[in-house]
A and B are shown apart, each in its own frame.
Chain A
């Protein structure tokens, strides 16, 4: 390969795409956290299948607020997509607005979720369903909180000018993480709220 040396001279330095270490870091994080939720939901369906009693023991969970909360999270994902598109067109102010909107929606989601916790007639120690409900939604809420930190940090770094239309790998991968948290919620929502109604 006589021309290898010349080819290497022309390689892009610190690429801001799927070849970057940060991109791989985020994708691997998502894969391993995805596995964690898969094992959590495995535990849920396993115990649901093994129980001789009604699942959940107190009857299916009310859907109303949870539906609204799901919508909030989905809209916030769309907001994150619009934010990144705006940054790619160098519209920093639009980016900041969409990103802030997403952070607000995510925060409201956590608030609603916490208030839902207070209205439940069971606790984490009442029965296996209760344990699964609080641990699964708790794990998810922790991931939402981390996502809010990510989105917030990226918001600050963009306002400071660190990220721009050319370099915004952090914006891209924090978006990936947020969409991941969103997808996990859909699986959690289906399992905890819808699936018991199909039994």
Chain B
């Protein structure tokens, strides 16, 4: 694993870990939906019989394949965002994250369980009771690892000295939305209740609390946090507070009433509703909330555009944060670190004020290790980040871009039945892969850096 820009010596930051977990999950989950799309294309264009009852296919096969991807994907989407909070929230609580190890295990545990709950999207499709019970139970158990993270964040705020800057507000707001979205998810894990709620606005409320609450709020908080590092300028704090409160209030005014609309029986996926259903008031409230929320998003855009030009200069470490990226200039130099930092704890910039350092060592921000022979990085062991090898990374190349473009042409050709173009694109993708994989360093095997220095 390549932690940061070659930081060596300690467990990875939680955001990196969340991203790694999500990436591994994607490797397993994405083929399901790719396959579902290919099979659907075949059914529609080459008259295969996967999803039609007449030829012995089954429409539920689509739902299975879609949700085998779709449910793990929800976690792949939220885990990196949860990692942002686990990394950045503690900075504004002026203390390390409570229960780092438990949060990490919770992250990985959530992802693993996330592969065993897809059927809870299909409770109302007429499945056998055994399947309903198993997947209902699994869907409730998944609340445990998520709750570990929630309690860790709350404990971090409670035992810390919170600084109420805009990023903190977004992260704390996220915790509230996460709990609401989590509880409504837990509720729909109960099969009888789910039968009542399936295809109602309750589910729409739940999925917005989960996807916007758990993803968009941490990401915007993360942008407030890292914007100074990216651009060298702070986002405006006053506008930021307005930004947060309009988004937070607008979000809840828009989406909370949807729970009620759903309980009242308002179906989803239907654009309108009858005058006589008594749904007018909740929908009016939702509409007002949606406009307030939209204003909040616009405020964010204004803040970004204004601060890019006129924002206060940030300096290296405007938040007094503990991690490596804050030890270099804002924005960072293209090479990130002049020398490879050697890291002895998860909080290299706080080491002199934390009471105890896990293994007693001190991080060296300016070691004498330089990787300056082309694109190189250090490979480390996964858990302890001990240096393992010096890896050669690919040089600048247009090939991946051409490859992606050729793939786009391939799918365009398949949709348009341009078979000759599809064949051409296949040949092109094979050619670009072969050129990309062509070994570059003829004859040069593994060597020791020491040997090289001696020679």
Q: Chain A residues in contact with chain B, CB under 8 A?
A: 1, 4-5, 7-17, 19-22, 28, 31-33, 35-36, 39-40, 42-43, 46-47, 50-51, 53, 57, 124-132, 134-135, 146, 149, 153, 157, 161-164, 166-167, 170
- Measured between beta carbons, the chain B residues less than 8 angstroms from A131 are 42, 48-50, 55, 57
- Measured between beta carbons, the chain A residues less than 8 angstroms from B443 are 161-162, 164, 167
Chain A interface secondary structure, helix, strand, loop or mixed?
helix
Stretch in B79-87, B323-331, B388-396 with 4+ CB within 8 Å of A: B388-396
- Measured between beta carbons, the chain B residues less than 8 angstroms from A20 are 389, 391
User: Is the beta-carbon distance between B387 and A32 smaller than 8 angstroms?
Assistant: no
Chain B interface secondary structure, helix, strand, loop or mixed?
mixed
User: Is the beta-carbon distance between A47 and B447 smaller than 8 angstroms?
Assistant: no
User: Is the CB of B257 closer than 8 A to any CB of chain A?
Assistant: no
Of chain B, the residue at the smallest CB distance from A132 is B50
Q: Which of B42, B68, B364, B390 contacts A11 (CB 8 A)?
A: B390
User: Is the beta-carbon distance between B389 and A4 smaller than 8 angstroms?
Assistant: no
User: Is the beta-carbon distance between B447 and A12 smaller than 8 angstroms?
Assistant: yes
Contact with A along B435-454 (1 / 0, CB 8 A): 00111011111111110110
Stretch in B30-38, B130-138, B297-305, B408-416 with 4+ CB within 8 Å of A: B30-38
> A39-B68, A161-B442 in contact; A14/B50 too (CB < 8 A)?
no
- Measured between beta carbons, the chain B residues less than 8 angstroms from A17 are 446
- Distance from B385 Cβ to chain A, minimum over Cβ atoms (Å): 11
> A14-B392, A20-B391, A36-B31 in contact; A5/B445 too (CB < 8 A)?
no
User: Is the CB of B9 closer than 8 A to any CB of chain A?
Assistant: yes
User: Is the beta-carbon distance between B446 and A31 smaller than 8 angstroms?
Assistant: no
User: Is the beta-carbon distance between A15 and B446 smaller than 8 angstroms?
Assistant: yes
User: Is the beta-carbon distance between B389 and A11 smaller than 8 angstroms?
Assistant: yes
- Measured between beta carbons, the chain A residues less than 8 angstroms from B389 are 11-15, 19-20
Q: Report how far A7 CA is from B386 CA in the complex, Å.
A: 10
- Measured between beta carbons, the chain B residues less than 8 angstroms from A130 are 48-49
Interface centre among B49, B61, B344 (most CB of A within 10 A): B49
Those of B40-58 within 8 Å (CB) of chain A = 42, 46-50, 55-58
Q: Report how far A14 CA is from B394 CA in the complex, Å.
A: 12
Those of B353-377 within 8 Å (CB) of chain A = 361, 364, 367-369, 376
Q: Which of A5, A53, A157 contacts B439 (CB 8 A)?
A: A157
Q: Which of B49, B55, B58 contacts A46 (CB 8 A)?
A: B58
Of chain B, the residue at the smallest CB distance from A36 is B31
- Measured between beta carbons, the chain B residues less than 8 angstroms from A47 are 50, 56-58, 61
Q: Which of B68, B344, B444 contacts A167 (CB 8 A)?
A: B444
User: Is the beta-carbon distance between A39 and B35 smaller than 8 angstroms?
Assistant: yes
A-B contact pairs, 6 of them (CB 8 A): A1-B342, A4-B369, A12-B447, A13-B449, A57-B56, A126-B49
User: Is the CB of B27 closer than 8 A to any CB of chain A?
Assistant: yes
User: Is the CB of B383 closer than 8 A to any CB of chain A?
Assistant: no
User: Is the CB of B103 closer than 8 A to any CB of chain A?
Assistant: no
User: Is the beta-carbon distance between B434 and A128 smaller than 8 angstroms?
Assistant: no
Of chain B, the residue at the smallest CB distance from A134 is B48
- Measured between beta carbons, the chain A residues less than 8 angstroms from B448 are 10-13
- Measured between beta carbons, the chain A residues less than 8 angstroms from B437 are 22, 153, 170
User: Is the beta-carbon distance between A8 and B58 smaller than 8 angstroms?
Assistant: no
User: Is the beta-carbon distance between B30 and A32 smaller than 8 angstroms?
Assistant: yes
Interface centre among A1, A130, A146 (most CB of B within 10 A): A1
- Distance from A173 Cβ to chain B, minimum over Cβ atoms (Å): 10
User: Is the CB of B144 closer than 8 A to any CB of chain A?
Assistant: no
Q: Report how far A43 CA is from B49 CA in the complex, Å.
A: 12
Q: Report how far A47 CA is from B61 CA in the complex, Å.
A: 8
> A11-B449, A12-B389 in contact; A127/B56 too (CB < 8 A)?
yes
User: Is the beta-carbon distance between B391 and A125 smaller than 8 angstroms?
Assistant: no
- Measured between beta carbons, the chain B residues less than 8 angstroms from A33 are 31
- Distance from A25 Cβ to chain B, minimum over Cβ atoms (Å): 9
User: Is the beta-carbon distance between A8 and B369 smaller than 8 angstroms?
Assistant: yes
User: Is the CB of B405 closer than 8 A to any CB of chain A?
Assistant: no
